[in-house]
Amino acid sequence: MSAAGGAVQAQPEPLDESETRRRPYGLLLVAAPVLLVGWLVIWPIVSAVIRTLWQPADDGGYEFTLETYVFFFSDRYSLDNLTVTLWTTGMCALFLLVICLPISLYLRFSVGRLPAYVQSLAIFPMFVPSIILAYAFIRVLGPNGMVDILLNAVGLPKIRTPYLTPWGPVIGLVWDNIPLTVLILLSGLGNVSNQAIEAARDVGARWLQVLWYIILPRIGNSILVALSFSVLGIFSSFTLPYVLGPAAPEMMGPFMQRTFRDVNDPQMAITQAVITFGFCIVFGLFYVRSVARNRGK
């Protein structure tokens, strides 16, 4: 998108005849990373689907079965984990939109030092590893944390700490995802021309109308991209829910990890993984399509 100043272009410039190579040396040069993607991205996914659907049968062969999926969807605990994951993802998406859209709108239509400061703050969490964020969260919002200290100092009661409740991961994940959401929305807002807005203002449209009729339709795609990206990251996030969330019900990330390592049931763990793929497939496809279309321009 034009607002993004990056020089990244997927398409090659038209090649000079002198530069055209008839023999595919290029294939040799790209072979190693491509094979790595094939072996460690494509194959594990295909293999996970196959291994969970065709399982060893009594007669020594393999048979088609939905056994592990039936177990997942009839197991109360698994379903609770799935529900809390969906709830967390939904809440995060909602909060991200409510927080980041006003920030991006403000940044798009302001110039000067204050907006520059606001922008650098909004981008800042990108530079904070999530493990440090988790630690800071506990020191600030945890029991007897900084917020409790300050509330106590002015004579107010303590907060009910979100640490180890489902709200813990929500707060942490929203914090973590603000930068990219703001950047993607800002990039989309770059496509909204000033003339369109001025024209609308000239005929007497109020700001709310401008927002609804002029701005939102033009950045709809960016909003969807930002949400898809966050959903993909949040749905199977591990570190923040593991450190900040409750022990039960847990989000799919910690659940899969525990099933794989502690319960030592890889078959069930990859079933859970395939189920997360299923829930995210729409967002994943949409995200890839948008990126590919952008790069292809």
Q: Which parts of 150-209 interact with another protein (CB under 8 A)?
A: 150, 152-153, 175, 180, 183-188, 194-195, 197-198
Contact 53, 65 (CB under 8 A): yes
CB of 289 to another protein, least distance (A): 9
| String of contacts with another protein for each residue 91-120, x by CB under 8 A | -----------xx--x--xxxx-xx-xx--
Count of C-beta atoms within a 10 Å radius of residue 225: 25
Q: How far is CA 252 from CA 196, 248, 264, 273, in A?
A: 44, 11, 16, 8
The three-state secondary structure class of 111 is coil
Q: Which stretch, 53-61, 66-74, 76-84, 235-243, contacts another protein (CB under 8 A)?
A: 235-243
The first and second tokens of residue 143, run together, are: 């029991």
Q: Which stretch, 53-61, 63-71, 75-83, 239-247, contacts another protein (CB under 8 A)?
A: 239-247
Site for another protein in 56-95 (CB under 8 A): none
The only residue of 63, 139, 220, 263 in contact with another protein, by rule CB under 8 A? 139
CB of 223 to another protein, least distance (A): 11
The only residue of 97, 196, 233, 246 in contact with another protein, by rule CB under 8 A? 233
Bridge pairing between strands 54-56 and 62-64 = antiparallel
CB of 64 to another protein, least distance (A): 19
Whichever of 163 and 166 has its CB closer to another protein, that residue is 163
> Is residue 53 near another protein by the rule CB under 8 A?
no
Whichever of 153 and 208 has its CB closer to another protein, that residue is 153
The only residue of 134, 173, 223, 227 in contact with another protein, by rule CB under 8 A? 134
Is cis: bond before 24, omega within 30 of 0? no
Contact 52, 270 (CB under 8 A): yes
> What is the spatial distance between Cα 242 and Cα 254, in angstroms, rounded to a whole number?
6
Whichever of 79 and 152 has its CB closer to another protein, that residue is 152
> What is the spatial distance between Cα 68 and Cα 265, in angstroms, rounded to a whole number?
11
CB of 167 to another protein, least distance (A): 15
Residue at token pair 């021309």: 193
The three-state secondary structure class of 236 is coil
The only residue of 53, 86, 97, 123 in contact with another protein, by rule CB under 8 A? 123
167-189 vs 76-108: helix axis angle to the nearest 10?
A: 40
The only residue of 8, 203, 208, 247 in contact with another protein, by rule CB under 8 A? 8
CB of 85 to another protein, least distance (A): 10
Q: Compute the Cα dihedral for 214, 292, 129, 93 and give only its sign.
A: positive
